[in-house]
Copies of this chain bind each other. A is one copy, B any other.
């Protein structure tokens, strides 16, 4: 099911049937990867480009005191490392969180993708949007409360999954551990736990296991001042209005 990646890229630039066929062929042989498996390690030269087709993965860095900071989440449709394609060594580690379906694209095949103008445009736009996501994380860690940060991340993932057709109404798969959530936001597990309980008590979300539901999207977005503009949702004007 390469559809998440193709949906994602199609939302960044209109792709021709030939573009889509090329992408499909390069994504057609994904591998199953178990949970908590490193795909690429800090300090090592990058290998093939990984594309997450199913499951959750993340980028992180360790700090000397033993702490971990997750700096990005990868959901279906996301590319692991366009970085590796141009840089010498990884400056962070990429790992799966859950069991994932990952397609691996060799550098030569990446060249073929970048030779197609619309695919190249979509890929670079996706890089720029992932930068925008990082900027938003910086804003959260610097200037938002723990409650707002957690709410903001929930909104972010909701919007990103909707973009690739992986959210059902206000419900989506959110398989993070409270510990991983803390490592993402710079919070302790204990504090994450207490804040989550607050959000549940406030009737904003329900979260059991990997099943997360946003019960009151409007209030949740208001709470954390969520403005989806930074995800650049409307880069491709939906000419396909009215399609089933």
Contacts and interface: CB of A to CB of B under 8 A. Distances in A.
Interface of A: 43, 59, 61, 63-65, 67-69, 71-72, 82-83, 86-89, 91-92, 121, 124-125, 127-132, 134-139, 141-144, 183, 185-186, 225, 229-230, 232, 234-235
Q: How many copies does the complex hold?
A: 2
Contact of A138 (B69, B127, B229): B69
Contact of A232 (B63, B87, B235): B87
Given A71-B139, A134-B134, 4 more contacts: A69-B143, A82-B128, A87-B128, A92-B132
B88 A235 contact: yes
Nearest to A81: B128
7 contacts: A43-B229, A63-B139, A69-B139, A87-B128, A88-B234, A127-B131, A138-B141
A131 B132 contact: no
Contact of A71 (B83, B86, B138): B138
A144 B143 CA distance: 16
A12 B142 CA distance: 30
A128 B86 contact: yes
Contacts of A141: 138, 141-142, 186
